[in-house]
Amino acid sequence: MITIEQLSKVYHSKGKSVIGVDDVTLNIDQGEIYGIVGYSGAGKSTLLRCMNVLERPTSGIVRIDGIDLMSLSPKELRKARQSIGMIFQGFHLAMSKTVLENVAFALKASGVGRKERRKRAEELLVLVGLDDKANQYPAQLSGGQKQRVSIARALANNPKVLLCDEATSALDPNTTKSILKLLQEINRELGLTIVLITHEMEVVKEICDRCAVMEEGRIVEQGSTYDIFAYPENELTKRFIQTVIDFQIPEEQLVKSQGTIVHMTITGELAGESIVSDLLQHHDIRGNILHGKIDYIQNQALGMFVMELTGDRSEVERAIGTLHDKLEEVEVLQDAGTADQSMARAE
């Protein structure tokens, strides 16, 4: 559906060059929700604007539904953009127009007649749950309601793609969840391809099928959302995941510990098995869970646990070997020897 090949965007100002997007290649499938996450200045919003050529790339290829947007004339590009809806953090509503008029305005620009505009706008307000707000003005709405109007307006011309630029970052957590749920429903009901720009990994975890992590204009990691959470490789990705699933053990706890501390990731069907209890039954060791959680991403279980194992050192090592045999991700955060040294320093 969306193909980005070796795309770069370079800005020139006062004799200096600033790279906004640096040699990015992405493939986004029809009907999926794709997240692009990064901190401020990572280039993610610039990349999004390049997707509909609101920002013209310096080099590279942008294809949407098989159409090379870079090769189109200005008139052809305007027509092609009708199949690409876009919503923003700041809503961008006309304050002097009613909710209904805001939605209908997008159709007026496309040459749709008055009666058809009104009918389509009313249908969209039902879709986003605002049919009772049709005659109100944006100033009378909450932030979440304003974003729903923006979504309805973006859907007016039956787009194939919806681009969302930090669409939930100005909203409180509960409102964010309701907007994300709405986007999921629209994705399922309309088969719409959604690209979601965000700096919040929780948003990615909530609804994205696949995602990419951006830093300094480049994609540093990409894959299915589940795999990104289960097997992160890049340090930036790991930091983002820690904002959602934080398993950092306080230094005070590490100093107190006299055992071996192990972090384990349990994926898929294994998350429903008795890995920990079986380990303690088959090895002459004691186990103390310091941190643990089973989460669900893309309807798949993902378990993460931090345990302190104590007992004979050789038996602990055999237990860790058993974990390595069963699980793909096992990391010793502190072994008993390190713990002994920490205790000595503390004394």
Give residue 141's domain range: 2-242
pTM metric for this prediction: 0.87
Cα dihedral value 217, 221, 224, 230, nearest 10:
-140
pLDDT of residue 26: 95
For residue 264, give the CATH number of its domain: 3.30.70.260
Contacts of 280 (CB under 8 A, 6+ apart): 286, 287
The CATH number given to whatever domain includes residue 87 is 3.40.50.300
Distance CA 285, CA 263 (A): 16
| 217, 274: one domain | no
For residues 258 and 250, give the distance between their C-alpha atoms in angstroms, rounded to a whole number.
15
Instruction: Say what the pLDDT of residue 337 is.
Output: 55
Same domain, 226 and 280: no
**Helices 143-154 and 99-108 sit at what angle, rounded to 10 degrees?**
20
Question: What pLDDT score does 328 carry?
Answer: 85
pLDDT digit string, tens, across residues 107-157: 887 788 889 999 999 999 999 999 999 999 999 999 999 999 999 999 999
With a cut of 50, list the residues of the chain below it in pLDDT. Answer: 338-347
Comparing CA positions, the residue from 54, 52, 7 lying closest to residue 26 is 7
pLDDT at 346: 36
> Which 8-state DSSP code applies to residue 136?
S
> Same structural domain for residues 228 and 298?
no
